[in-house]
DNA sequence: GACCCGTGGCC
DNA sequence: TGGCCAAGGGT
């Protein structure tokens, strides 16, 4: 069997490079969006924006970014903040380890670099949560250093410019594009050029139905020349999320609700939520799994009614949730296990919950409104 | 390389 | 409706 040889990295000729640089930068100067992190070149502001933008759309990020910068205007302010506040500011954005890593790294910069973001690639790359792309983005945008910042946009644009069929899901492909980028990024305007590549990918060279007719570099694009732009980039399909039956408990004592902090590793690590168990096998009511688990924790409950069902899809899990009401048997003023907590409504508002739990809260609230004047309040 | 880690919007 | 995607990083 012969092993399939990888296509070599194309080496663009100088004429093509000069043309693409000029046209793309001219287009960017005219068409760049006025985004909040483009007000200046403060490395801290650039950094925060890049972390938030990881796997997240610009429109989603903007309001979070504004609030975050109001709360933590400087690197020092973020370094001195409590983690709980930082996570609260991230609530609803997802990928919460981004916020924890950012906080860790910012504290590291405060402690080891006098509060100034380092401008050398080795130091920046070592910061927690800063990988090859983000390091390149910070270094090029904030410090105008000629470093590649290859994200999904850039891979799509390059795939089309050179009509390359490499699988963009592979790490090796990204490295190939980084090498390619080094041939194209100009001296002097490295940051603008990297942003122009991404801006082109976001506005013109879009994943589906790219606007080739208005593309500033349509003459330089092999995919367009060959009419294969819709076929590129090549990307291996992701596995579908695995379905999982999950039970949430809505367990009240007086005006307080039982909360559980999730384990420090895995899905929604360290986040607050309702008591959560996986449903096991067997022909019993879903709530039984919850009752038994709580019993093991020394919390004795009587099952109430099913308050509702909801589905929440993560990247790799599909939670099919049954929300079950529970009534505490004896006054449980004794010791709760580590990470468990009776929270009043006021206390709940200070905690950060991922959206799957916020959906459940909303469900309870609706149900409460519906039943008011009919059965009174839920127990 | 494979898998894990959230969420929302779009067609 | 659902599959796909978004300025990725860590393990």
Closest protein CA to C1' of nucleotide C3, residue: A240
A56 contact to strand B (CB, 7 A limit): yes
Rounded CA gap, A117 and A126, in Å?
Answer: 12
Q: Which letter does DSSP use for residue A220 in this model?
A: G
Please give the pLDDT value at position A82: 97
The mean pLDDT value for A76-94 works out to: 97
Q: Which positions of chain C lie under 7 Å from any protein Cβ?
A: 3-10
Any idea which nucleotide's C1' is nearest the CA of A56? C6
> Which residues of A in 174-203 have their CB below 7 Å from strand B's atoms?
none
Q: Does A50 participate in catalysis according to the annotation?
A: yes
pLDDT in tens, A326-366: 998 876 566 788 899 999 999 999 999 999 999 999 999 98
Q: Give dist(CA A121, CA A143) in Å, integer.
A: 11
- A368 or A319: whose pLDDT is higher? A319
At A202-219, the pLDDT tens digits run 999 999 999 999 999 999
pLDDT of residue A116: 97
Average pLDDT over residues A286-310: 92
In this model, does residue A375 exceed pLDDT 50?
no
Q: What is the mean pLDDT of residues A311-340?
A: 88
CB A170, CB A159: distance < 8 Å? no
Q: Which nucleotide is nearest to A98 (CA to C1')?
A: C9
Establish whether the CB of A59 is closer than 7 Å to any nucleic acid atom in strand B.
Answer: yes
Q: Is the CB of A64 under 7 A from strand B?
A: no
Banded model confidence at residue A3, pLDDT cuts 50, 70, 90: very low
Report the pLDDT value the prediction gives residue A184, as an integer from 0 to 100.
96
The verdict on whether omega for the bond into residue A233 sits within 30 degrees of 0, i.e. cis, is yes
Q: Is the pLDDT of residue A149 over 80?
A: yes
A1 CA, B7 C1': Å apart:
44
By three-state DSSP, how is residue A106 classified? helix
Assess whether A58 (CB) lies less than 7 A from strand C. Answer: yes
Mean pLDDT of A144-173: 95
Each residue's pLDDT tens digit, A8-60: 777 789 999 999 999 999 999 999 999 999 999 999 999 999 999 999 999 99
Burial class from Cβ neighbours inside 10 Å (0-12, 13-18, 19+) for residue A4 reads exposed
How many Å apart are A363 CA and B5 C1'? 25
The pLDDT of residue A50 is: 97
Q: Which residue out of A30, A50, A288, A345 is catalytically annotated?
A: A50
Q: Is the pLDDT of residue A252 over 70?
A: yes
The protein residue nearest nucleotide B10, judged by CA to C1', is A208
What is the reported pLDDT for A371?
65
pLDDT of residue A335: 78
Residues A91, A345: Cα–Cα separation, whole Å: 17
- Looking at residue A373, its pLDDT comes to 43
The model's pTM: 0.94
């Amino acid at each position: 069997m012969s092993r399939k040889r990888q296509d070599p990295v194309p080496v663009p000729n100088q004429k093509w490079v000069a043309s693409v640089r000029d046209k793309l930068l001219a287009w960017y100067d005219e068409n760049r969006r006025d985004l909040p992190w483009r007000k200046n070149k403060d490395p801290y502001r650039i950094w925060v924006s890049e972390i938030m933008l990881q796997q997240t759309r610009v429109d989603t990020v903007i309001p979070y970014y504004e609030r975050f910068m109001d709360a933590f205007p400087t690197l020092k302010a973020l370094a001195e903040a409590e983690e709980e506040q930082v996570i609260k500011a991230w609530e609803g954005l997802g990928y919460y380890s981004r916020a924890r890593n950012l906080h860790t790294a910012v504290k590291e910069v405060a402690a080891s670099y006098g509060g100034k973001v380092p401008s050398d690639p080795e130091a920046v790359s070592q910061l927690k949560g800063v990988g090859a792309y983000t390091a390149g983005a910070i270094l090029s945008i904030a410090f105008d250093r000629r470093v590649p910042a290859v994200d999904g946009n850039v891979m799509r644009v390059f795939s089309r410019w050179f009509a390359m069929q490499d699988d963009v899901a592979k790490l090796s492909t990204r490295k190939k594009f980084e090498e390619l980028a080094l041939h194209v990024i100009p001296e002097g305007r490295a940051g603008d050029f990297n942003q122009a590549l991404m801006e082109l990918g976001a506005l013109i060279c879009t994943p589906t139905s790219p606007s080739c007719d208005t593309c500033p570099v349509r003459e330089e694009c092999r995919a367009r020349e060959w009419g294969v732009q819709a076929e590129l980039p090549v990307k291996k399909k992701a596995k579908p999320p695995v379905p999982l039956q999950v039970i949430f408990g809505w367990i009240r004592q007086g005006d307080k609700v039982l909360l559980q902090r999730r384990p420090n590793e895995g899905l929604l690590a360290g986040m607050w939520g309702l008591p959560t168990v996986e449903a096991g096998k067997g022909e019993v009511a879903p709530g039984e799994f919850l009752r038994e688990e709580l019993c093991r924790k020394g919390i004795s409950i009587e099952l109430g009614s099913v308050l509702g069902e909801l589905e929440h899809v993560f990247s790799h899990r599909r939670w099919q949730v049954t929300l079950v009401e529970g009534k505490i048997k004896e006054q449980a003023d004794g010791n709760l296990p580590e990470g468990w907590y009776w929270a009043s409504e006021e206390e709940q508002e200070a905690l950060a919950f991922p959206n799957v739990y916020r959906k459940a809260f909303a469900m309870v609230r609706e149900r409460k409104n519906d039943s008011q004047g009919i059965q009174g309040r839920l127990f």
